[in-house]
Structure 1
Amino acid sequence: MLYSLFNNYKRKRNRAKLKDDSFSYLFDEDESGEYVVFDTETTGLNPKVDEILSIGAVKIKDNKILTSETFEVYVKNSKAISSKSIEIHGIRPCDLENAKNSKDAVRDFLEFIGSRPLIGYYLEFDVSMINKYVKPIFGITLPNKMIEVSEIYFEQKIALIPQGNIDLRFDTILKDCSLPNMGAHNAVNDAIMTAMIYLKLTKEKIDVRKTNF
């Protein structure tokens, strides 16, 4: 009960800091029955200094991955992209020539997610990267409920092999769940694969619409 009261208090404080009331819907109770799975591609792994290069997301509803409703945006960056990060996400400077500025990209993302619960793989990092842009623009941090797939996977595995060494790498979880690897690790593909993992771990029927592997 104390934990719930503390969360409500934090939420109210966060809401009071919102600079743009047209985004007050972010704090509404979600009634869509949908979840949003999202991923970011970045210049590095330090939210304090690194930048978002792209955001990808997909919705889940009624045990279906709605790939007809994916979200993808490329974001202009202010720093050079290292060759090491290009090897990981494949985003080159020429891919960002028509990218949106960070304010417009984040506004579009917030409109896409609304107040829906968010799902991700190591979601804390992606949320930290989003909040890096959201807080200066809107005064708040993302208020959405968060669901971490690696935590669900760990809890299921540790129940079977207590004190075991659980491999939480993305490709390992994907393989262990007998799910197809969609290849290129871009933000949208990673979001769709994470959605598949979530549905498999929560013992839901996976129905991927309009997706070819």
Structure 2
Amino acid sequence: MRYGWWQKLKNYYIAKRSQQTGTHPDRMAQHLVEQAPPIIPSDQPLHTPVMVFDLETTGLNTRTDTVLSIGAVKIQPEGIPLGAGFYQVLDIAVDLQGESQLIHGLTQKDLAQGCDPRQALLDFFLYAQDHIWLVFHAEFDRRMLKNAALQHLGLIVDPQPLDIAQIAPLLFPEHDHAHAGLDHWLEVFQLPMLARHNALADALAAAELLMILIHRAQEQGFQSWGEIQTACSKQRQLKRLLGT
């Protein structure tokens, strides 16, 4: 199942507002987004190809910060095809702050040698087409990717990726706690972490975790990504009711 009329309507709306905002839709990008959006989980079986991505940003404010790099890997039925990942640093004019640099490790020189943001986003959408999208802490990356697409392409792109940070406690509740991040889950399953806060390395680590989660989901009788999505939603509602 792919995006329908509502995606086209939103892009039409943003195009109509471009004269006021100064943000003009990129027609090539618009065509790409309409023709090759991510697969909606729905009743897609667990062996459907998935893509795990990660963004490095200037900070954690989804209103004022911006995307610096994009990393992604794919999981096929036979596993993760090493050497076929995606990684781009964006060439953007931004003054990196010392505190954020300590986290993502990118420098002004790295940005200057990076890829044109428009091309980087187009390449990412091409890489990710025909896959279900997942990311650890999906809401943050969803908003930041949406901001980047609007800023650099003039389009509203809102893929709604599944959240690995919600799937993990659903399937392994015995290892869950209130502030369980990616490092926690990597430690639980003794997964190696080569370089934290590098977009590609984080995407690969999250993908390795996801492979364990997919196996666990199959053991527990889940047959589709839609079933997992529904179960995660019910779990969130229960946690809110219990105040946990």
- For the aligned pair, the TM-score class normalised by the smaller chain equals 0.7 to 0.9
**In structure 1, the residue corresponding to 2:146 is in which secondary structure?**
helix
Contact 1:51 1:77 (C-alpha < 8 Å) held by counterparts = no
2:165 aligned residue = 150
**Counterpart residue identity of residue 93, structure 2:** S
1:25 aligned residue = 35
**Counterpart residue identity of residue 110, structure 1:** F
**In structure 1, the residue corresponding to 2:94 is in which secondary structure?**
coil
The correspondence of residues 44-123 of structure 1 with structure 2, limited to 5 A, is 44-123=59-138
In structure 2, the gaps of 5 or more residues are: 12-26, 217-244
Contact 2:67 2:148 (C-alpha < 8 Å) held by counterparts = no
1:14 paired to 2:7 = yes
Q: 1:68 offset after TM fit, Å?
A: 1.9
Which of the numbers 184, 190, 195 marks the counterpart of 1:172?
Answer: 184
Higher strand proportion, which one?
1
**Counterpart residue identity of residue 213, structure 2:** L
Call closer, same or farther: CA 1:114–1:142 in 2, change over 3 Å: farther
**In structure 1, the residue corresponding to 2:134 is in which secondary structure?**
strand
Contact 2:38 2:133 (C-alpha < 8 Å) held by counterparts = no
Q: 1:48 offset after TM fit, Å?
A: 1.3
TM-score by length of 1: 0.79
1:209 aligned residue = none
CA distance in 2, matches of 1:47, 1:101: 21
1:200 aligned residue = 212
RMSD: 2.7
Percent identity over paired residues: 25
1:135 paired to 2:150 = yes
CA distance in 2, matches of 1:27, 1:38: 15
Q: Any idea what the Cα deviations from partners look like across 1:17-61, whole Å, max 9, x if unmatched?
A: 345324322347589942111001110011211111110011110
In structure 1, the gaps of 5 or more residues are: 1-6, 205-213
